[in-house]
Amino acid sequence: MRIVAGLYKGFSLKAPNSLKTRPTSDRARETIFNILNNYIQDYNELEVLDVFAGSGALGLEALSRKATAATFIEIDRDAINIIHHNINHLKINDACKVLRLDATRLPHASKKFNLIFIDAPYNKGLTKKALSELFEKKWIAENAILVIEISVSETFFFPSYLKFLNERHIGITKVILATIPSMQ
């Protein structure tokens, strides 16, 4: 697994060796960021949140494209160790924060994020729960872009606060882009 583009292009990433974690493939990450390029012109000043982070690959890919900072939410200790390994390998400790949290039971946010990746284990109903927590506990900035990965066999019901932007199928993965429109 490697960083696909940007400052750290080609750097290898370690992935958890566990059935509990399903890392986003290089191909899927490349497709996701190609789609994001239609909505994000400049990654500078983006605060990224990688939920169910696993290896941290999505947040690290955003940092490689010059996002300001990334916060990783993960509950599995082995995955957290892998995220720290990858951050240390890229020497970007100052731009990263790793939180050991259950994404379905979040505390109130201390800051809001404008690019959010949600890649929960498939077919367990965790995406909907995490999304509700992120919204209710104020983790999502106005006009934020959300990238939601689910199984192609799953149905995703859009909450009223989300606006659909795009959808792609990449192998067994359905990638949905959405936003929280401005309240003005």
| pLDDT above 80 for 4 | yes
- Mean pLDDT of all residues belonging to the chain: 92
Q: 């949290």: which residue's tokens? A: 101
CA distances for 133 relative to 84, 172, 177, angstroms: 25, 26, 18
Report the pLDDT value the prediction gives residue 23, as an integer from 0 to 100: 66
- Assign 149 a pLDDT band (cuts: 50, 70, 90): very high
Fold of 26-179: Rossmann fold (3.40.50)
**So where are the chain's domains?**
26-179
Report the pLDDT value the prediction gives residue 17, as an integer from 0 to 100: 77
Partners of 51 in the beta sheet? 73, 118
Q: Record the tokens describing residue 19, joined without a space.
A: 């059935």
Residues 6 or more apart in contact with residue 3 via CB below 8 angstroms? 9, 10, 11, 13, 57, 60, 61, 64, 90
Torsion of CA 162, 35, 75, 136, to 10 degrees: -10
| pLDDT above 70 for 156 | yes
Query: What are the tens digits of pLDDT across the range 42-99?
Result: 999 899 999 999 999 999 999 999 999 999 999 999 999 999 999 999 999 999 999 9
Report the pLDDT value the prediction gives residue 1, as an integer from 0 to 100: 87
Looking at residue 50, its amino acid is D
Report the pLDDT value the prediction gives residue 184, as an integer from 0 to 100: 44
Q: Decide if 169 contacts 152 (C-beta within 8 A).
A: yes
Q: Residue 175 is inside which H or E element, if any? A: strand 173-179
- Crossing angle of the two packed helices 57-64 and 26-36, in degrees rounded to 10: 50
Nearest alpha-carbon partner for 179 in 166, 165, 169, 168 = 165
Q: Decide if 12 contacts 1 (C-beta within 8 A).
A: yes
CA distance 78 to 80: 5
Question: What is the mean predicted confidence (pLDDT) over 163-172?
Answer: 93
Q: Residue 155 is inside which H or E element, if any? A: none
Report the pLDDT value the prediction gives residue 114, as an integer from 0 to 100: 96
String of DSSP letters for 36-54: HTTT-S--TTPEEEEET-T
Name the pTM for this structure. Answer: 0.94
Question: What is the mean predicted confidence (pLDDT) over 3-31?
Answer: 81
Question: What is the mean predicted confidence (pLDDT) over 160-182?
Answer: 92
